[in-house]
Amino acid sequence: MGAAPIAHHASLWRTFWVNAVLAPRTSLGFMRADFVFGSIVVVPFTQMVFFAVVAGLAQNPQASTAFVVLGNAVSTITYTSIFSVCQTTDSEKNHGTMEHLLVSPANRVALYLGRGVVPILTSLGTVTVGLLYAAFIFHVSFAGADLPFLALSVVLTTVSMVGFGLLLGGVALFFRTSIILGNIFLFAGLVLSGVNFPITFLPLPLQYVGELLPLTWGVTAVRDSVAGASLTTILPVWGFLSLSLLVSLALAIGLWDVFEHRALSTGSIVRF
C-alpha cells in the first residue's frame, strides 16, 4: 500500500528532471555553447550599448543612461525566458515529438514545468552579466544597493518571466507558429515595461497593459534594489512578480490540458 505513492513521486521527479535536461537540448539548442555564450555575454552588451547611446542623445533626465542601462540589463532575459521558451511549442510540432507527448503517461505538470529549468539558469546568468556590465562598463553606482534584495529581485524576475514564456508557449499550441507571438512580447516589453523610459510616459491605457507584464515589475524591483529601497517599498513589487508567476503557470497548464483533450478527441494536431 505504501509503495505506490513512493513510486508515483519518483516518477514525477524523474519526469521533471529528465525533461529539464532533454527538452532544451532537443528543442532550441539551449545546451549549445554558442547559444549560451551569445545569450549571456553578447546580447546584454550589444543591447545595453545601443540604448545607452540613444539615452545619451536624448538627454532626458527622467531617462538617464543609468536608468536605461539597468532596464536593459533586466530586459535582455526576454530572449531566453520568453521568445525561446515560447518557440519550444513550434519545435515539438516540427520535430514530430508532440504526438509522443500526448500519448505519454508522464505527469503533465512535471513535464511542462521541467522545461523552465535551463531557461531560468540561462536567464539568471544573463541578468547577472548585464548588471556587471552596468557597474563596470557604464559606471552605474551600486553603492547604496541592498544586495540580498537585489539577488531576490533577480531570481523572482527570472522565474516569473520564464513562467510567462511557458504561458505564451501554451497559447502558441493553438497557432501554426509562435514566432509572431514571441516577437510581439519580445519587443512590447521594451516599450510597455519602463525599460528605456518611465511607464508614466505612456498613454494611460498602455500603462495598464504594461502593468500586466512581469517584466515591468522585474525592472522596478531591480531598480528599487539598486537604489536601496526599503522592504515596505519593494515587498509589493515582489508580490506582483509572484502573482504573475502563479497565474502564468496555472493558465499555461490549463491551455495544455485543453489542447491535449482536443487533440486526442480528434486524433490530430494538424488543425492547430
For residues 174 and 269, give the distance between their C-alpha atoms in angstroms, rounded to a whole number: 9
3-state secondary structure of 60: coil
**Residues of the chain above pLDDT 90, percent:** 45
Neighbouring residues of 99: CB distance < 8 A, sequence distance ≥ 6: 269
Neighbour tally for 143: CB within 10 Å: 6
| CA atoms of 149 and 154, how far apart (whole Å) | 9
Q: Please tell me whether the overall predicted TM-score, pTM, comes out greater than 0.75 for this model.
A: yes
Which carries the bigger pLDDT value, residue 119 or residue 146?
146
State the residue for C-alpha cell 538617464.
64
Residue 194, CA distances (Å) to 35, 143, 217 in order: 27, 23, 9
Q: Band the pLDDT of 8: cuts 50, 70, 90.
A: very low
More confident residue, 151 or 264: 151
Q: 156-215 pLDDT, tens per residue?
A: 999 999 999 889 888 888 877 777 887 888 888 889 999 999 999 999 999 999 999 999
- Listed in sequence order, the DSSP H helices in 193-266 are 204-210, 214-226, 231-266
DSSP-assigned letter for residue 42? I
* Residues 120, 100: Cα–Cα separation, whole Å: 25
The answer to whether 244 and 214 have CB atoms below 8 angstroms apart is: yes
Number of H helices, E strands in the chain: 15, 0
Sign of CA dihedral 154, 157, 158, 159: positive
Give 83's contacts (C-beta < 8 A, 6+ positions apart).
165, 182, 183, 185, 186
Which grid coordinates belong to 180? 509572431
pLDDT of residue 225: 95
What is d(CA 211, CA 186) in angstroms, rounded to the nearest whole number? 16
- Stronger pLDDT, 131 or 37, i.e. the higher one: 131
- Spatial separation of the C-alpha atoms in residues 187 and 77, rounded to whole Å: 12
* Contacts for 189 with CB less than 8 Å, ≥ 6 apart: 75, 78, 82, 195, 213, 215
